[in-house]
Amino acid sequence: MLLWTALQLVSFVSGAKVLFQYRGNRLCSIGPKGSFKYFEGPGFTANDGELSVEGGCLVVNSYPFKQSRSDISDTTKFHLSTNRAFQYKTGKVIVQMTGSAIMHGVEDNPFGEGYALSRIDSRLATSVFGVRDACGQAFNFLIVNGEVSAMIHAPFSTSPGPTVTSTMSYNIPLVNTQAGEEHTLALIFDAAAQSVSWSVDGTIHYTWTVDSQIPQENCVLRWGDPNRFTYPRKFTVGFGNYAGLAYYPPVSAAKAFDVEYKGLVNLPSLPMLLNPQTGEPAEFITDSSEQKARVWDRGAVLRIRDIIVTHNDA
């Protein structure tokens, strides 16, 4: 696997054309005429977070998470993406962020001893940086207290859409970290190789190509028939804070699976979260139906020093 030193990556970026740059020592401009816009869906805006500037960094404080909806869209707590989309058929595009994140309250989750790995379980709370293409595919970094990982996600639709026929998400661990530790994270899009690489502090730890077979042990969500990811030719850049698990109200599917509803999150129904260790549906059911077990005091704080997007035709 190709390894780039930090010096080589900096050299590559410095010799490239700068397409977009944001420095965290000022609040970002949001709106139709600004640099960024909030992610929006039917009936909601992903703006659960306070913005401030501290120590030369933009701080996105989503602690504690607020419960605003009782459906899967409540997992997207805060998300900003560029108004501009980036599209290049040749060369390499590098999307880079320097920043850090802290997850609060994840150790206090109500799932018991089975979730002792709360420092690396991005489903409890996570900060996200990456891109989303015109097809809805996401190529992201996930940052939690103990780990930085790569995430590839896509809802697949019937052509020309809009009916979603399947959904898949893969989480590939990259490096260990500590809460609040700053890293330079870069996604490298190579049009010629049809590949996406994840670089942490100048070293590439994972490369995906259109021919890649991602190990099934990295699959964390699967619904419907398997499908293939495609190379992202046009995308926006975004960041935010997510809750991989959200509150779901009782549904008839609970009876179909003969599961007593206990008031928290995913029953083994669609869409399906998986246990990566077994490949089986993950049941996040607490032993208590009390309200405090449904929404506990957790959240995420993301700090961004800078974001830069560059293109090199070489």
Q: What amino acid is encoded at 155 in this protein? A: P
- Over residues 42-52, the pLDDT tens digits come to 888 999 999 99
Tell me if residue 191 falls in helix, strand or coil.
coil
User: Which range has highest mean pLDDT (102-106, 232-236, 264-268)?
Assistant: 232-236
On average, the pLDDT of the chain sits at 81
- Please provide residue 80's backbone torsions phi and psi, each rounded to the nearest 5 degrees: -115, 140
Contact 74, 67 (CB under 8 A): yes
Tell me the residue length of the chain.
314
pLDDT score at 187 = 99
Q: Which residue has the tokens 């942490």?
A: 200
Contact 170, 151 (CB under 8 A): yes
Q: Which residue has the higher pLDDT, 123 or 9?
A: 123
pLDDT band at residue 221 under the 50/70/90 scheme: confident
pLDDT score at 4 = 39
- Look at phi and psi of residue 14 and say left if phi exceeds 0, alpha if psi is from -120 to 50, else beta: alpha
pLDDT score at 26 = 98
Q: Which two tokens stand for residue 298?
A: 């957790």
Cα–Cα distance, 105 to 124 (Å, whole number):
9
Cis peptide leading into residue 271 (ω within 30°): yes
Cα–Cα distance, 261 to 178 (Å, whole number):
36
Least confident of 33-37, 65-69, 166-170: 65-69
How many Cβ atoms sit within 10 Å of the Cβ of residue 213?
6
Class of domain 6-312: mainly beta
Contact 142, 130 (CB under 8 A): no
- Please provide residue 158's backbone torsions phi and psi, each rounded to the nearest 5 degrees: -70, 140
Whether the pLDDT of residue 151 is over 90: the answer is yes
pTM as predicted: 0.84
For the chain, strand residue ranges (E) read: 17-23, 36-38, 40-41, 44-45, 50-54, 57-62, 76-82, 86-87, 92-104, 126-133, 138-143, 147-157, 164-176, 183-190, 195-200, 203-209, 219-223, 234-242, 299-312
| Whole-number percent of the chain with pLDDT over 90 | 53
Q: Which residue ranges make up each domain of the chain? A: 6-312
pLDDT score at 162 = 66
pLDDT score at 11 = 42
pLDDT score at 297 = 78
Contact 93, 139 (CB under 8 A): no
- Over residues 91-135, the pLDDT tens digits come to 999 999 999 999 998 887 766 554 556 777 787 899 999 999 998
What is the DSSP-derived secondary structure letter of residue 293?
A: H
